C-alpha cells in the first residue's frame, strides 16, 4: 500500500504563500539577509503590545528561550535550569533589564556584543539576581528577595508602571511573597508571552528553516555513514557531529530507538546494536539556530528486505502525516484538529487490522519555533482552543509500533500559510530509506 497519491502533500499545500530560504547562516555584502537589529526591535515591540493587551506593567521572565526572544542575548544552555536568571521587561521601556555579574567581566563583554542593550545591563548592586537554585539560609534568602523586590519596584516607578501588575513565569514562593510585600500585584507570566510568540514574523520562519536544514545535515550523515553493527549511541554521535559542524548551537535532547526498543518508544538511547531489518527512529530534539528550532523525527530501516507488516506500519504513519497536514489552514481551531486528527483503528485503518498487527499508536501536536511545547497546542479538552492563523507554527508527531516488528515515528514542523500549510522539515519520509548497505 502506498502513500496517498491522490492528495497534495504538505510541501504542495499553500505554496503560493511560501517564505523562501535564499541564503545560508553567514553574512555577505551582495545580498540583503536577515536584519537582526530590526527583528530584535520588532520582537520586543510585540512583547510590549501583549503586555498592554493583558494589562500588565512589567514581566519577570526566567524562561531560557523567552529571555533570548526579548533581548537577543545568548543564554548558555546551563541557563535552562529554571529559574537560573531573569529578564525584567517593563512596559513601554524598550529592551528588558538584566542583572549581570561584573566580577568576571560579563558586563563588559555583553556591552561590547549587544550594543542595543545599552542602559539595560545592570550590576548586581543595581538589580540583584536572587539565587533561587542555590542553597541559602532562610534569613539570607528573605533579605535577598526583599532587596530584589525593592529594586524591581524602583525601576517600575522610573517608567511609570508601578501601579500595574507584574507577571512572573517561574520563581520561588519566597520571591513572590517579597514582591507582594513590596506592594506589587503578581499575576501569571506564562499566558501573555505564549500568546505573543504564537505568530511568527517572516524572518523567524527563515530562522526555523535554517534550523531544519542544520538538522537535515545530521540525517544526511546518517544515510552516508551508518552501517550494520553500529549502536544507537553511534548514530547519535554521527548526527551530532554533522549538526554542530553545520552551525547548530545546541541540541535539547535525543531519542534513538532501534528494533525492539522502538516498541514501545523509549525516550533515550542505548548501546543496543543495529541489526538487519531493524526499524531505527532518530530524533535530535530541537536543534537550535539563533534561538529558533523545529521538531523533527525520521525512521529508517537497516539493510534487508522490508516485511509486509513493516511496510504497512510505515505507510500508515506516512498517511497520518499527510492527513494531518491537509487539516492545517487559517480559521481551523485546535479542537477541530484534535477531533479530526488521524486515529488508526478509528478514522483510518480498521480495528481488525490494528488487532492483527498487535499495534499501538499515538500522535500529538504543539506549538514550535521559539520554546518547545508552546501555543498553539491541544492535548485534552481542558486546553484552550486556538484559531490558526498565518505564520503560526506547530509540530505533529505520528507514531505506531507493533510487537515483534518495532516502531515508526515521523515528525514534521508546519507553518500555517494564507490558504493551507507549508512543511518546514524537508527530509524525505514518503518512502522508507534503507541504511547500512
pLDDT for 346 equals 85
User: Does 328 map to a domain?
Assistant: yes
Q: Are residues 84 and 226 in the same domain?
A: no
pLDDT for 5 equals 38
Q: Are residues 219 and 340 in the same domain?
A: yes
Q: Are residues 301 and 422 in the same domain?
A: yes
Domain count for the chain: 2
User: Does 320 map to a domain?
Assistant: yes
Q: In what order do the strands lie in the sheet with 97-99?
A: 121-122, 97-99, 87-90, 58-61, 166-168, 186-188
Q: Are residues 203 and 277 in the same domain?
A: yes
End-of-domain residue from the set 196, 215, 239? 196
pLDDT for 354 equals 83
CA dihedral (310, 312, 318, 321) positive or negative: negative
pLDDT for 365 equals 85
pLDDT for 216 equals 97
pLDDT for 101 equals 77
pLDDT for 6 equals 40
Q: In what order do the strands lie in the sheet with 434-435?
A: 253-258, 279-285, 298-302, 434-435
pLDDT for 4 equals 36
Q: Are residues 338 and 380 in the same domain?
A: yes
User: Does 18 map to a domain?
Assistant: no
pLDDT for 3 equals 36
Q: Are residues 266 and 404 in the same domain?
A: yes
User: Does 147 map to a domain?
Assistant: yes
Close Cβ partners of 338 (under 8 Å, ≥ 6 residues apart): 378
Q: Are residues 166 and 229 in the same domain?
A: no
Interatomic CA distance for residues 396 and 296, integer angstroms: 9
Q: Are residues 187 and 247 in the same domain?
A: no
pLDDT for 198 equals 94
Provide the CATH number for the domain around residue 246: 3.90.230.10
pLDDT for 185 equals 98
Burial class (CB in 10 A: 0-12, 13-18, 19+), 129: middle
Q: Are residues 190 and 226 in the same domain?
A: no
Full residue range of the structural domain in which residue 56 is found? 36-196
Structure-block grid coordinates of residue 269: 538511547
pLDDT for 35 equals 95
Q: Are residues 114 and 163 in the same domain?
A: yes
Q: For each successive 10 residues of the chain (437 residues), what is the average pLDDT?
A: 42 70 89 95 98 98 94 83 88 96 77 94 93 88 96 98 96 94 96 95 97 96 96 96 94 90 87 94 92 94 91 94 96 91 86 83 86 79 86 94 89 96 96 91
User: Does 157 map to a domain?
Assistant: yes
pLDDT for 165 equals 98
**Whole-model pTM over 0.85:** yes
Q: Which helix (H) or strand (E) holds 361?
A: strand 359-367
Amino acid at each position: 500500500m502506498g502513500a496517498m497519491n491522490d492528495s497534495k502533500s504538505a510541501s504542495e499545500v499553500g505554496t503560493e504563500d511560501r517564505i523562501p530560504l535564499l541564503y545560508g547562516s553567514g553574512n555577505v555584502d551582495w545580498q540583503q539577509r536577515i536584519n537582526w537589529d530590526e527583528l530584535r526591535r520588532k520582537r520586543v515591540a510585540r512583547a510590549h503590545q501583549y503586555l498592554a493587551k493583558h494589562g500588565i506593567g512589567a514581566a519577570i521572565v526566567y524562561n531560557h528561550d523567552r529571555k533570548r526572544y526579548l533581548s537577543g542575548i545568548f543564554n548558555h544552555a546551563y541557563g535552562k535550569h529554571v529559574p537560573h536568571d531573569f529578564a525584567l521587561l517593563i512596559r513601554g521601556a524598550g529592551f528588558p533589564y538584566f542583572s549581570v555579574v561584573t566580577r568576571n567581566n560579563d558586563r563588559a563583554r555583553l556591552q561590547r556584543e549587544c550594543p542595543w542593550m545599552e542602559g539595560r545591563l545592570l550590576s548586581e548592586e543595581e538589580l540583584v539576581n536572587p539565587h533561587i537554585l542555590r542553597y541559602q539560609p532562610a534569613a539570607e534568602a528573605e533579605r535577598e528577595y526583599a532587596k530584589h523586590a525593592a529594586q524591581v519596584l524602583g525601576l517600575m516607578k522610573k517608567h511609570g508602571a508601578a501601579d500595574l501588575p507584574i507577571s512572573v513565569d517561574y520563581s520561588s514562593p519566597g520571591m513572590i511573597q517579597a514582591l507582594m510585600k513590596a506592594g506589587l500585584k503578581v499575576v501569571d507570566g506564562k499566558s501573555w508571552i505564549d500568546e505573543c510568540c504564537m505568530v511568527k514574523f517572516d524572518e523567524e520562519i527563515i530562522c526555523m528553516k535554517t534550523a531544519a536544514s542544520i538538522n537535515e545535515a545530521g540525517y544526511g550523515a546518517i544515510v552516508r555513514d551508518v552501517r550494520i553493527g553500529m549502536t544507537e549511541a553511534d548514530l547519535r554521535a554521527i548526527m551530532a557531529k554533522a549538526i554542530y559542524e553545520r552551525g547548530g548551537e545546541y541540541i535539547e535532547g535525543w531519542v534513538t530507538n532501534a528494533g525492539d526498543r522502538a516498541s514501545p518508544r523509549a525516550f533515550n538511547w542505548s548501546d543496543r546494536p543495529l541489526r538487519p531489518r531493524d526499524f531505527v527512529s532518530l530524533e535530535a530534539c530541537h536543534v537550535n539556530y539563533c534561538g529558533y528550532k523545529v521538531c523533527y523525527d525520521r525512521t529508517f530501516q537497516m539493510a534487508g528486505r522490508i516485511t509486509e507488516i513493516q511496510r504497512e506500519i510505515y505507510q500508515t504513519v506516512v498517511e497520518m502525516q499527510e492527513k494531518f497536514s491537509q487539516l492545517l489552514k487559517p480559521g481551523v481551531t485546535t479542537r477541530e484538529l484534535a477531533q479530526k486528527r488521524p486515529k488508526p483503528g478509528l478514522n483510518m485503518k480498521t480495528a481488525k487490522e490494528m488487532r492483527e498487527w498487535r499495534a499501538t499508536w499515538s500522535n500529538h501536536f504543539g506549538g514550535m519555533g521559539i520554546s518547545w511545547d508552546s501555543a498553539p497546542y491541544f492535548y485534552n479538552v481542558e486546553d484552550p482552543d486556538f484559531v490558526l492563523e498565518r505564520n503560526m507554527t506547530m509540530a505533529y508527531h505520528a507514531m505506531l509500533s507493533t510487537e515483534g516488528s518495532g516502531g515508526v515515528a515521523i515528525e514534521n514542523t508546519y507553518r500555517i500559510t494564507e490558504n493551507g500549510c507549508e512543511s518546514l522539515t524537508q527530509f524525505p519520509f514518503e518512502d522508507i530509506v534503507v541504511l547500512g548497505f
